[in-house]
């Protein structure tokens, strides 16, 4: 906190008289100095009183107005608009990778339960509901007993038994972020590995009826439209990240957010809205444009900011599938977000390092849980 102090100017005024000292010499301005010392004491006391009153008032208001997230905010969490989101969709269930395992959150009552235990030898990185809403696919990085090489695989589960859908293919390979086709017969996913000594990233499609994998296009973080006709994904290059929208076979891609656009630096997993008209995507702003969220406590009155431990802050942007400028939806300044649309398309669930949020299309945000993490999430009835 920087405080500005105003230095008082001290000048003699001969018109105020003279006082004789014990030595007999004349000292000018002694009454003025005494009065100014008294005034300085009174001013300091008044300033201290104003400080105390302002601090008490701020503490009172933060407790009254912060709502359910008030206590969490006072521990340094981002300040969130806790007004009830308009038309809030409180139905359905969220899949959340948390502490290495996979958890299920019931949105209506915010209750959570662990459904996949991957620790201590593994970590769930993302999960997606199957179209039937009763089973799912999840990406898992893990060690097998007796092995030192990390395995990266995609599993299917109906919550009673698991089986491998996408197998590990050697040193340096990884698979992530499965995305179902609407009929449940195929699965898109991101894959990376070493080819001729260099690392490549591409999107593949698994045909579940025959178990074959086909490379679709260069890129990562795929999402499929609800009608199965379009594919949204991110492509990384020397100029940065770009958001593309193609046909489901990866052909004829349109660039929705170009790399090096000067506004957004890094892009994470895009999600197409249920009606297919909008893409929600987490992104970071260029250095100098990002702003820290205000802490919801009295210290904010004096300019104390939140410290971030993980690089550039992220927020969610919306962009039309017809093109145009992305619109910033949130001001959370979170870390490495993932998003999922509500089944009716009126809300977005946001998962990040400090918690789980619910945001409507006007940006009004509610905190669902103050326990956060990293990984791809999904929302289903």
> pLDDT digit string (tens) for 175-195?
999 999 999 999 999 999 888
Residue position matching structure tokens 């893409």 = 279
Judge whether 20 lies within some domain. no
pLDDT at res. 33: 47
* Mean model confidence pLDDT for the chain: 79
Which residues span the domain enclosing 242? 67-380
Which among 285, 331, 373 has a CA at the least distance from the CA of 80? 331
Which among 93, 90, 118, 117 has a CA at the least distance from the CA of 105? 93
Judge whether 60 lies within some domain. no
Residue 301 has pLDDT above 60, yes or no: no
Could you report the per-residue pLDDT of 40-97, keeping only the tens digit for each? 555 556 666 666 566 556 554 444 333 333 333 322 333 333 334 444 556 899 999 9
Judge whether 35 lies within some domain. no
Judge whether 16 lies within some domain. no
pLDDT at res. 305: 42
Judge whether 315 lies within some domain. yes
pLDDT at res. 282: 97
Q: What are phi and psi of 58, to 5 degrees?
A: -65, -40
Distance CA 52, CA 32 (A): 30
Counted domains in the chain: 1
Residue 29 has pLDDT above 50, yes or no: no
Q: Is 7 exposed, middle or buried (0-12, 13-18, 19+ CB in 10 A)?
A: exposed
What CATH number has the domain bearing residue 215?
Answer: 2.120.10.30
Q: Is 91 exposed, middle or buried (0-12, 13-18, 19+ CB in 10 A)?
A: middle
Residue 330 has pLDDT above 90, yes or no: yes
Judge whether 21 lies within some domain. no
Judge whether 258 lies within some domain. yes
The model carries a pTM of 0.73
Judge whether 59 lies within some domain. no
How would you list the strands of the sheet with 327-328, edge to edge?
Answer: 271-272, 278-284, 314-320, 327-328
């Amino acid at each position: 906190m920087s405080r500005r102090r105003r230095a008082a100017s001290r000048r003699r005024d001969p018109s105020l008289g003279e006082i004789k000292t014990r030595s007999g010499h004349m000292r000018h301005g002694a009454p003025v100095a005494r009065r100014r010392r008294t005034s300085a004491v009174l001013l300091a006391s008044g300033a201290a009183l104003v400080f105390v009153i302002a601090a008490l008032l701020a503490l009172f208001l933060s407790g009254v107005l912060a709502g359910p997230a008030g206590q969490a905010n006072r521990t340094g969490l981002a300040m969130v608009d806790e007004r009830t989101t308009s038309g809030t969709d409180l139905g359905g269930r969220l899949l959340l990778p948390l502490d290495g395992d996979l958890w299920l959150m019931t949105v209506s009552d915010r209750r959570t339960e662990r459904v996949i235990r991957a620790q201590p030898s593994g970590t769930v990185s993302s999960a997606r509901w199957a179209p039937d809403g009763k089973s799912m696919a999840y990406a898992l990085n893990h060690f097998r007993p007796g092995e030192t090489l990390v395995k990266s695989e995609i599993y299917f589960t109906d919550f009673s038994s698991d089986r491998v859908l996408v197998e590990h293919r050697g040193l340096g390979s990884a698979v992530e972020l499965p995305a179902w086709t609407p009929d449940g017969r195929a699965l898109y996913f991101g894959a990376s590995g070493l080819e001729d000594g260099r690392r490549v990233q591409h999107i593949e499609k698994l045909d579940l009826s025959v178990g074959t994998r086909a490379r679709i296009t260069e890129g990562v973080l795929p999402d499929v439209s609800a009608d199965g006709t379009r594919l949204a994904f991110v492509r990384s290059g020397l100029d940065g990240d770009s958001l593309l929208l193609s046909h489901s076979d990866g052909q004829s891609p349109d660039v929705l957010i170009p790399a090096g656009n000067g506004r957004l630096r890094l892009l994470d997993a895009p999600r197409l809205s249920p009606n297919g008209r909008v893409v929600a995507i987490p992104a970071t702003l260029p250095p100098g444009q990002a702003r820290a969220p205000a802490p919801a406590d009295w210290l904010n009155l004096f300019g104390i900011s939140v410290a971030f431990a993980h690089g550039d802050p992220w927020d969610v942007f919306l962009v039309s599938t017809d093109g145009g400028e992305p619109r910033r939806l949130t001001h959370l300044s979170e870390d490495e977000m993932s998003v999922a649309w509500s089944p009716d398309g009126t809300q977005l669930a946001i998962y990040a390092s400090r918690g789980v949020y619910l945001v409507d299309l006007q940006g009004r945000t509610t905190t669902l849980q103050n326990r956060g993490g990293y990984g791809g999430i999904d929302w289903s009835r």
